[in-house]
Amino acid sequence: MTEPTSSQHADLEKAVRTYGGFWDTSRGLRALRDAGHDPQEKNTRHILRDLANKGLLTKVEDRPVRYRTVQET
């Protein structure tokens, strides 16, 4: 089952906001699968980069790439 990218983006953003913590491609893939999607690694990495550009995540490690949620004040 392939879902439109926009709904994958919305579901991954919701998971990041709900659970917080550290995020990498594998956790993103699990969250999207749990939401009923059939995600691809490349697209999941793209969504994580986009969430970082929006300020929801900050990169904490380059190889392998890991992000953490930004603490809201």
How confident is the model over 1-51, as pLDDT tens digits? Answer: 455 566 999 999 999 999 999 999 999 999 999 999 999 999 999 999 999
Please say if the pLDDT value at position 71 is more than 90: no
How high is the pLDDT of residue 69? 97
Encode pLDDT of 47-64 as tens digits: 999 999 999 999 999 999
- Phi, psi values for residue 68, rounded to 5°: -135, 155
How high is the pLDDT of residue 73? 47
CA 37 to chain centre: 13
The reply to whether the predicted model has a pTM over 0.75 is yes
